[in-house]
Amino acid sequence: MALQLSYLLSLLFLILLLPHSTTAQTSSNQSLGSSLTAQEKDSYWASPSGDFAFGFQQIGKGGYLLAIWSNKLPEKTIVWSANGDNLVPRGSKVELTKDGKFVLNDPAGLEIWKVDLVRSVVAYAAMLDTGNFVLASQDSSLLWQSFDHPTDTMLPSQTMSQGSKLVACYSEMNYSNGRFQFQLKSDGSLALQTRAYPTDYSYADYWPEKNISGFKVVFNQSGSIILITKNGSIVKSILSNPSSMQDFYQRAIMEYDGVLRHYVYPKSSLMPRSWSYLPNFIPSNICNSIPIDMCGSGACGYNSYCMFDGQRPKCQCPDGYTFIDPEDVMKGCKQNFLSQSCDEALPESDLFYLKSMLNTDWPGMTDYESFPEQNEDWCRTACLGDCFCAAAVYENRICWKKKAPLPNGRIDSSFKGKALIKIRKDNSTLKPLGADLKKKDQSTVILIVSVLLSSSVFLNLLFLLAVFLLVFRFKYWKPKAHKPYPVMPGMNLRSYTYEELTEATNGFREELGRGAFAKVYNGVLESEDRKLVAVKRLNDMVRDGDLEFKAEVSAIDRTNHRNLVQLLGFCNEGQHRLLVYEFMSNGSIASILFGGSRPNWHQRIQIALGTAKRLFYLLEECSTQIIHCDIKPQNILLDDSFIARISDFGLAKLLKTDQTRTTTSIRGTKGYVAPKWFRHMPVTAKVDVYSFGVLLLELICCRKSFEVEAQDEDRMILADWAYDCFKERKLDLLVENDEEALDDVKRVENYVMIAIWCIQEDPSLRPTMKKVVQMMVGAVEVSFLPGPSSFSSSL
Ligand SMILES: *[C@@H]1O[C@H](CO)[C@@H](O)[C@H](O)[C@H]1NC(C)=O
Ligand SMILES: *[C@@H]1O[C@H](CO)[C@@H](O)[C@H](O)[C@H]1NC(C)=O
Ligand SMILES: *[C@@H]1O[C@H](CO)[C@@H](O)[C@H](O)[C@H]1NC(C)=O
Ligand SMILES: *[C@@H]1O[C@H](CO)[C@@H](O)[C@H](O)[C@H]1NC(C)=O
């Protein structure tokens, strides 16, 4: 009976016990063969209390993260993750396999992550209420726990042993390893460190606690994070907490911005419910904590600066710079403008200015010069005149020059100096013009009409030789569709079929312009990302077309340069000869100068200077001198950034073999070549200097060199009128109603003088292009005062 009773009692006990233990079992203990699959609906194993869950979280559209999160709070806070560097797609599966392994596989069965176990075999997995996910053996001994492999977060009751670290995420929503870490080093000291992203190495300790040594970091039950010795005595309190564990959820996290913070979340719904952090975060001001003598960009990315508002650091870009990736501001800032050229011949210093930024500094590794006992003006001039100088910092009569990229940027009221950051002047003002320039200039591309009539036997011989070489070389040209064809080493021209180009131009429908020997059409290359091109089709009847064609290809080829309109490819099929150029979206100078909206004075200066420099390059710097012979507003095209580029050059030289047919156009373009040039003079660089002079006057006055309809007969020929105005010191007439130019009358005068100097009838009196550029940028005084006798107006 006694036996029966005890039997009954134990049965009763079991019945009472069973339902309870089975639910607990399924909710927290996962047996062999259990798995979770990444899917739209949350899929997870919760801890018994439901505070934490282990499973898949979808991260944006990027994929799924295998993670542990606090599951009871409205915002699910991730406290641990397995595959931050390698999100997995839907359908991926984490499984406690029958043979006791714990692995994450993608839908194809490829292993993404696994728990490394030494010989032991797992019996079950459990999500515990502490936020610790464990794998245990049959006898319940722990084989692996997430607390031993933290990511960026520590939870109450978690410990860190020597050598372990919390690595910050890359950004708020990107769980890849980031740029900062908190480490208990193997010697027992503590440090916050910058990481050599994307590797696992570290650069600088920025919160070193060197002269201490501890055994473990503990997040203890009263919510303090402490460093303790082996026997449990406290070495240091790292973050301590006045809020109690009963009333608050807690976590400590190494955040993506480099700050170690202790967050609390009230358990009671009577308090405002959100995570807030305690004010004792480390370091107290990240912006000026990171050592400046180490590699790395500092608290923010390169070229940016860090501003601390007492709560969080904020990364910002200086004027003239924008974020490389606005979604990832710590990636740094990029220049919005072309850097200063280091070409001595083209002093560019007046194209830049220095923006002063009070209390701002980029201390450290980028200083390459320092000059004590200088004033600020001296410092400014020194940086502007130095193409390496990206910024100067001036403090206490010391001038530091800094080179790019600028690290460790910060703004801090305790720094009494200022940064002077170098920015190109007229970049931004050049942009807005684009909107009303959509209509293309009908005369954008005009074929060369000037012809060589040189009396120099030597030059002729030279050209004959060139022709011979060209013919020889081009004999091997065969059109090969879809294949870059190396014309010269280092240069790839594509060969197009006639059919392709017919298609691209829609059957040569939209004409952009025409010349004596060619027409130019608008085209779209479907096969190359719908790239816009200008297709120049040489007239089939031109007898020497072949020669012209090859000459132009070769001339552009030899001078391929960012200053020139780029040749992309060609077609040479039967009698069809076509050239394919990049499309210049902003048309020619003619279209903006004589079109409806005239560019402002500064834009005109930039265009004039740009053109002068390009010509200088072609005439004096290029290994083969190229005399263009037809410089005029229609042939200077503007790219997306309104940078002037020269088109249609070089062909003239080789046209001489057919002089008879072109005698009518041997003057180049009327108004842009010196009146007597074609009769008596050999072709020299001075031909282009003359044309440039005319162009410069047009740019100053915003009008054509020759206007038949001018109300005032005296004003019909621009050069004459400009000369008269100059003589009578009435330059303001030339730039009537142009406030900006009137404010800059000294420059107007200089430019008019340069222009008049360029259009001297006697070529030997004209300046070189180099001198023109130097005078325009003010590196050389404009000294020449043209006398009336040397100036001819007979056009
Ligand atoms: C999980 O399983 C282990 C071993 O069988 C057992 O000791 C433990 O109590 C179980 N945990 C829960 C919450 O049921
Ligand atoms: C996280 O950032 C890194 C570095 O920029 C990037 O390579 C990675 O694709 C990002 N991950 C996600 C999920 O966006
Ligand atoms: C946790 O650490 C704090 C600060 O050092 C200490 O005052 C407190 O007694 C510790 N609590 C426990 C439960 O060990
Ligand atoms: C400045 O010019 C550069 C190069 O021409 C261009 O890439 C950039 O977008 C321009 N910036 C602005 C603000 O116009």
Residue-wise pLDDT tens digits, 479-502: 333 333 333 333 467 888 898 899
**What separation in Å is there between the alpha carbon of 265 and the centre of ligand 2?**
29
29 within ligand 1 shell (Cβ under 6 A): yes
Cβ of 24 closer than 6 Å to ligand 1, yes or no, is: yes
Is any atom of ligand 2 closer than 6 Å to the C-beta of 79?
no
**Per mean pLDDT, which of 82-86, 136-140, 447-451 is the most reliable?**
82-86
In whole angstroms, what is the distance from residue 683 CA to residue 627 CA?
A: 8
DSSP string, 704-747: -SB-TT-SSGGGSBHHHHHHHHHHTT-GGGTTTT-HHHHHTHHH
The arithmetic mean of pLDDT across residues 142-150, rounded, is: 95
62 lines ligand 2 (CB under 6 A): yes
Ligand 3 lining (C-beta closer than 6 Å): 220-222, 224, 226, 234, 237, 240
Query: How many angstroms is it from 246 CA to the middle of ligand 1?
Result: 26
The whole-number pLDDT of residue 785 equals: 63
Q: Compute how many other C-beta atoms are within 10 angstroms of the C-beta atom of residue 54.
A: 26
Q: What is the pTM of this model?
A: 0.56
Q: Is the pLDDT of residue 431 over 70?
A: no
Kindly report, residue by residue over 393-418, the tens digit of the pLDDT: 999 999 999 999 999 999 998 999 99
**Cα of 220 from ligand 3 centre, angstroms:** 6
How many angstroms does the Cα of residue 25 sit away from the middle of ligand 1?
7
Q: State the average pLDDT over residues 352-378.
A: 91
> How much is the average pLDDT of 378-391?
93
Count of CB atoms situated within 10 Å of the CB of 166:
22
Q: Which ligand is nearest to the CA of 332?
A: 2
Mean of all residue pLDDT scores within the chain? 79
Calculate Rg over the CA atoms of the chain. 38
What is the tens place of the pLDDT at every residue in 193-236?
Answer: 999 988 999 998 999 877 889 999 999 988 899 999 999 999 99
For the CA of 328, the nearest atom of ligand 2: 5
pLDDT tens digits along 53-74: 999 999 988 899 999 999 988 8
The residue contributing the CA closest to ligand 4 atom 8 is 336
The pLDDT score that the predictor gives to residue 80 is 97
Among 404, 239, 241, residue whose Cα is nearest residue 337: 404
**pLDDT score of 683 more than 80:** no
- Tell how strand 43-46 and strand 52-59 pair up: antiparallel
Active site residues: 630
What is the per-residue pLDDT across 758-791, written as a single tens digit (0 to 9) for each? 998 888 889 999 999 989 988 888 876 665 444 5
Given the CA of residue 431, which atom of ligand 4 is nearest to it? 14
Of 29, 52, 121, 122, best ligand 1 pocket probe by most atoms within 8 Å of the beta carbon = 29
Q: How many Å lie between the centroid of ligand 1 and the Cα of residue 37?
A: 24
C-beta separation of 364 from 288 below 8 A? no
